[in-house]
Amino acid sequence: MFSGHIQFTDPSFYPKALQQVLAYLKETDFLSMTPGQYPLHDGIVAHVVDLKTQPDSTLLPEVHRQFIDVHFLCRGNERIGFTPDIGTNIVAKDDLASRDLLFYQPVTQEHFLDMTPGWYAVFFPCDVHRPGIQQAASEVVRKVVMKIPVAIFNPATQRGSV
């Protein structure tokens, strides 16, 4: 997991798929778009969502195995919990087969990232994350969740190279 602000990021350090996603996030006016799914290329999809943040006690942590998530905040304030997936978390709901989504019961040693407009966070399959947590109070935020297929993030791993 890593995060940054879109205006102060040098994408040249990242793999091509992430460079393209960061450029798209920087160049697109998501506040003028209708919430929904926007397919890009190579299986990358932008999910533009308006969601109401909630108390942390109402949300379960999650992981994905086939996609890398890039959460980008456009409007409002959101807190995201995160921790490594150490293999001992208790599964609350397994939707991996249908939605690439696995929910865990509350996890230990969770850390928090306070997001404001322009901030992004990248979550890999080894990163448990819990988005949508309210900061000071519940509010409706506009965010974009980019889904990058793991298979295109590092094509060398598809050939068995390390």
Q: What whole-number distance in Å separates Cα of residue 45 and Cα of residue 41?
A: 8
pLDDT for res 53 = 98
pTM above 0.85, yes or no: yes
Question: Per CATH, the architecture of 2-151 is what?
Answer: Sandwich (2.60)
pLDDT for res 155 = 56
Band (pLDDT 50/70/90 cuts) for residue 11 is confident
pLDDT, one tens digit per residue, over 31-48 is 999 999 999 999 999 999
| Residue whose C-alpha is closest to residue 79's, from 100, 58, 93, 98 | 58
Residues 6+ away with beta carbon under 8 Å from 90: 104, 105
pLDDT, one tens digit per residue, over 63-107 is 999 999 999 999 999 999 999 999 999 999 999 999 999 999 999
Q: With contact defined as beta carbons under 8 Å apart, do 159 and 38 qualify?
A: no
Burial class of residue 110 (count of CB atoms within 10 Å of its CB; 0-12, 13-18, 19+): middle
Residue 120 has which token pair?
């992004």
